[in-house]
Amino acid sequence: MTERRNRTDKPEPPSNTTGKILSFIRERRYQPSERLPSERDFAEKFDTSRGAVREALAALEAMRIIERRPNSGIYLRNSDESSIEALVLHAESGLPFQAEEIADVVEVRRILEVQAARLACTRRTPDNIRDLSKILSDTEKRLAKKQTIEVEDEAFHLAIFAATKNDILLRVVKSFYELSRQRRRLYFSDHSRGRRSYEDHCKILDAIEGR
């Protein structure tokens, strides 16, 4: 059956629908292996097209949040089966994390940062050193103006990962920075923390440059 839609209506972006479905699952406290509403039900609930819902569900399935069983329905999967992208979507949707989840994210990011610094010491090039130095120069300028350095802090760490010459490692860690963006925004609202971070980064750059 062809859906009727006013030609002046713009279909809702699938990404918005994806976030709504994820929020709905969280709010209703669905449990793993529990059956979710149908594609048609979601479309009616969010007043959007079934096409948008279909794309949103496909995205959630690719992130291993849900599974669609033939002739049965849509079911929620165990959270430990979901991808890192699922956590990023969770954060972008403004949904709260459990304290344990936050601690795990911070721990993994720190482990990756330490290993990245070690690899960067042996693999870095002069271009990497110039990139890191430029970021620190920009950081110093912002601190002088009493401005936050959350963007520069992320850029510095990602530049270290770039210096490892491991593209997969860089792609993985970008997801963890997406997850911690709001937390870092709050953290660097304190100017003294920005100053301490800058001083630490200077020491890290000296270590990487000196191999």
Structure confidence by residue, pLDDT tens digits, 135-157:
999 999 999 999 999 999 999 99
- What's the CA gap between 120 and 129, in Å, rounded? 10
Q: Give the closest residue to 155 by CA, choosing from 205, 108, 106, 111.
A: 205
User: What is the model's pTM?
Assistant: 0.69
How high does pLDDT run on average in the chain? 87
Q: Which amino acid is at 204?
A: I
Helix (H), strand (E) counts: the chain: 10, 3
Q: Which amino acid is at 119?
A: L
**What is the per-residue pLDDT across 143-193, written as a single tens digit (0 to 9) for each?**
999 999 999 999 999 999 999 999 999 988 888 888 778 788 889 999 999
Q: If you ran DSSP here, which 8-state letter would residue 80 be given?
A: G
How confident is the model over 7-23, as a mean pLDDT? 64
Domain segments of the chain as ranges: 14-88, 97-209
Residue 67 bridge partners (DSSP)? 75
Q: In the chain, what are the helix, strand and coil shares in percent, each to the nearest 5?
A: 70, 5, 25
Burial-class residue 143 by CB neighbours within 10 Å (0-12, 13-18, 19+): middle
Superfamily of domain 97-209: GntR ligand-binding domain-like (1.20.120.530)
- Residue keyed to tokens 């994390």: 97
Which residues are CB-contacts of 87 (< 8 A; sequence separation ≥ 6)?
101, 105, 175, 179
**54 is written with which tokens?**
């279909």
14-88: what fold? Answer: Arc Repressor Mutant, subunit A (1.10.10)
pLDDT at 15: 56
**85 is written with which tokens?**
């992208």
Same CATH fold assignment for domains 14-88 and 97-209:
no
